[in-house]
Structure 1
Amino acid sequence: MLRVGLSGGIGSGKSTVAGRLAEHGAVVIDADRLAREVVEPGTDGLRDIAEAFGPDVLDEAGALNRPALAAKVFGDQQALATLNAITHPRIAARTGELIAAAPEDAIVVHDVPLLVENGMAPLYHLVVIVHADLDQRLVRLRDRGLAEEDARRRIAAQADDERRRAVADVWLDNSGTPDLVLAQVDALWADRLVRYESNVRLRRYASYGPPVVVPYDETWPAQAERVAARIRLAAGGRVVEHIGSTSVPGLAAKDVLDFQLGVTSLEEAAELEEALAQAGFPGLGLGEDSVKREGDAPEAWHKRLHAGADPGRPVNLHVRVAGGPAWNWAIGFRDWLRADAAARDEYAALKLELAERHRGDQGSLAYAESKEPWMTAATARVDAFYRDGQTS
């Protein structure tokens, strides 16, 4: 099962995207609809609201009078917290029931208006944000009968574009005509979501072609933080470090995000394998880093390997003993390259040369092995960098 979080500001056209995904076969869970469902007449939710806010929040038919309730909670944080304490657990429970009832091979799309505001992004394999320009949103809201002043107030109360972009794995621009965004949704479904779901279900990592070194991408840190948050959640809050070339600003690299996850032992690492696989990072078994320092026992450089199942975002995950020699070396190598421009340029030139040499190879194993002698030789320079107190 693939879990997709779908969100966007009011008037962005999120419902259009949700409807198209449903046409493709997605199981769409609409949080707004559930919020109405749990306070329908005769429900415990409606009873508790009436007890908390008074009978005047009910209309003559005994249904929820939404404007009356809104007037009581607007601008009153304590009242809003009381309302959320009544509705949120019920919405969450109903959401869980619907997810549990979905088929094993389902692509579950959770349509959540406040996904960003409530910090929910790490719960999903992928987050899709629907965007539209402000003027377009105001027109749509006006056509829905909302006065411009009220529309602007509601828009201002939600997360801004910067916060939405921070969590967006996929950004769908719906500022134009519906056919344009629907074409984007069709491509997303066929090229990414269907493949991603099967990879997660079959515990299979996404395959990529030969190594290609590209210029540094300024969005890599934000992408890394999104992925790291998912790994961290699946691993019970353990330490996750963004390492490798994409973690070094300005360094040309393969478009692959590398992480290391800290554990106390490889036995503990094995216990995390299923949780990581369910989160979209299937295990590849035991691995070993080349020993970088003479005298170290080879087993001190052992690890467990995982890779990303998302065909749209290559990821390597090294599960290592936190504070062990391999863990410390990866951080030291990263920080040295961040601080030493000459070393960074030297490494970039090597990577470009080796990528060209191995461009006909499928996968990156030969490319990675070709870098090892240089990286091992650089250990003395990394140690000197730290010994001299030049940490970044």
Structure 2
Amino acid sequence: MLRVGLTGGIGSGKSTVAGRLAEHGAVLIDADKLAREVVEPDTPGLAAVVEAFGPEVLAADGSLDRPKLAAVVFNSAEQRERLNGIVHPLVGKRTAEMLADAADDAVVIHDVPLLVEKNYAPMYHLVVVVDSDVEERVRRLAETRGMPEADARARIAAQASTEQRRAVADVWLDNSGTPDQVLAQADALWADRLVPFEANVRLHRWSDYGNARLYDYNPEWPLQAARLAARIKLVTGGLRVDHIGSTAVPGLPAKDIIDLQVTVSSLEQADSFAESLTQAGFPVSPENTGDRGKETKRFHHSADPGRLANIHLRAEGSTDWRQALLFRDWLRASEQERASYLELKQGIAKQYASGAIPDDAKDEWFDKALPRAESWAEATGWQP
């Protein structure tokens, strides 16, 4: 099962994307819809809301008068939290029931307006954000919901910012244009990423790593690494996760593969996380557990075809654990050494452009560079 978090600001059109993915066969769990269902007439949820806010929030027919309730809670953080304390546990229970009923090969789209605000992003294999220009969102809210402009702007301002959403977005869908444009994006997302990602998670396999091509440094790499690290921290109980390797060195061209190092107390602890990491989208690579022929780590890959990654689990204080951090920080600090390393990488990429790169292709350079890195560490007082 692939769990996809879908979010976007009010008026962004995420419901359009959710509906399209459901047409393709996704299981849609709409948090807003569930929030309405759990406070329908004669439900325990509605009874709790009336007890908390009084019978004046009821309409004449006994149903919840949503505009009246909104007027009570919208301008009060305390009242909003009070309402959320009633509704969210009920929505969570219903969500868990729907997940349990979903097929093993399902792509589950969880439409969650407050995904960013509630820090839910690490819970999903992938987070999709639908966005639109603010002025376009205001226009839509006025036309489709009859919302006054001032109210529309106030609601937009009360939600997560664009920057906050970008920080958690694995996929960013721009819905500022016509509906057919965002639907085309949704179609491509389904075919090119969600379907193969689900199969990889279910079958415990990783994505094809392609060739040795070097890409110009991408400032998105650290943000992508941070999102992967957050998922790993969630399933490992908060273990230290560091972005290492070439994509962690600003300005250095690299293969488009994120390397992360997870600090464990022992390889036995690393093994204890094998299943949970695999289910989270990082399948174990049991045939490749050693560094230079020695068993000094456990190795996982990413199952996401849209974000290749290597996950190295190494024991704290081990030689390779320390050197991975040392080389990263040393290269960050030295333009000359970055240039030397880039020359090596370019030569390897050219030599093995059409085939697999040998595991020891960089060993000679690293062996010669290690004394220079250690001298830098001693001179600067560097610690891992």
User: In 2, distance between residues paired with 1:325 and 1:280?
Assistant: 28
What residue number does 1:167 align with?
168
What residue number does 1:380 align with?
371
What residue number does 1:54 align with?
54
What residue number does 1:259 align with?
260
User: In 1, distance between residues paired with 2:203 and 2:107?
Assistant: 14
Deviation at 1:208, TM superposition (A): 1.9
Structure 1, unmatched stretches of 5+, are 292-297
Superposed CA deviations along residues 224-271 of structure 1, whole A, max 9, x for unmatched, are 111111111121211111100000011111010000111111111111
Amino acid paired to 1:149: A
Secondary structure in 1 matching 2:285: strand
User: In 2, distance between residues paired with 1:128 and 1:161?
Assistant: 13
Check if 1:290 corresponds to 2:289: no
Amino acid paired to 1:287: T
Amino acid paired to 2:14: K
Secondary structure in 2 matching 1:28: strand
User: In 1, distance between residues paired with 2:223 and 2:243?
Assistant: 11
Check if 1:183 corresponds to 2:184: yes
Amino acid paired to 1:74: F
Please say which of residues 258-267 and 374-383 is displaced more in the overlay.
374-383
Superposed CA deviations along residues 55-114 of structure 1, whole A, max 9, x for unmatched, are 111122211111222222222222222111111111111111111110000000000111
Check if 1:349 corresponds to 2:343: yes
Amino acid paired to 2:236: A
Secondary structure in 2 matching 1:45: helix
User: In 2, distance between residues paired with 1:112 and 1:80?
Assistant: 17
How many equivalent pairs are there?
381
Amino acid paired to 1:380: P
CA contact (8 A) 1:243 1:258 kept: yes
Please say which of residues 374-383 and 203-212 is displaced more in the overlay.
374-383
User: In 1, distance between residues paired with 2:220 and 2:333?
Assistant: 20
Amino acid paired to 1:290: R
Q: How do 1:1-392 residues align onto structure 2 when only pairs under 5 Å count? A: 1-144=1-144, 145-285=146-286, 287-290=289-292, 298=294, 302-361=296-355, 363=356, 365-366=357-358, 368-389=359-380, 391=382
CA contact (8 A) 1:266 1:321 kept: yes
Amino acid paired to 1:312: G
CA contact (8 A) 2:261 2:312 kept: yes
Please say which of residues 67-76 and 139-148 is displaced more in the overlay.
67-76
Superposed CA deviations along residues 122-149 of structure 1, whole A, max 9, x for unmatched, are 1111111111112221221111111111
Superposed CA deviations along residues 318-371 of structure 1, whole A, max 9, x for unmatched, are 11112221111100110000001100111011101110100010x4x42x4211
Amino acid paired to 1:152: R
Secondary structure in 2 matching 1:283: coil
Q: Taking structure 1 as reference, are residues 19 and 146 closer, same or farther at Cα in structure 2, changes over 3 Å only? A: same
CA contact (8 A) 2:57 2:66 kept: yes
User: In 2, distance between residues paired with 1:74 and 1:179?
Assistant: 34
User: In 2, distance between residues paired with 1:216 and 1:76?
Assistant: 45
Please say which of residues 125-134 and 60-69 is displaced more in the overlay.
60-69
Secondary structure in 2 matching 1:18: helix
The alignment's TM-score, normalised by the length of structure 2, stands at 0.97
User: In 1, distance between residues paired with 2:119 and 2:43?
Assistant: 28
Query: What percent identity do the matched residue pairs reach?
Result: 55
Amino acid paired to 2:131: H
User: In 1, distance between residues paired with 2:125 and 2:272?
Assistant: 21
Secondary structure in 2 matching 1:110: strand
User: In 1, distance between residues paired with 2:57 and 2:364?
Assistant: 72
User: In 1, distance between residues paired with 2:337 and 2:311?
Assistant: 25
Deviation at 1:163, TM superposition (A): 1.0
CA contact (8 A) 1:336 1:391 kept: no
Please say which of residues 212-221 and 133-142 is displaced more in the overlay.
133-142
Amino acid paired to 1:379: L
User: In 2, distance between residues paired with 1:118 and 1:56?
Assistant: 29
User: In 1, distance between residues paired with 2:360 and 2:32?
Assistant: 52
User: In 2, distance between residues paired with 1:330 and 1:323?
Assistant: 11
Deviation at 1:390, TM superposition (A): 5.4
Amino acid paired to 1:194: V
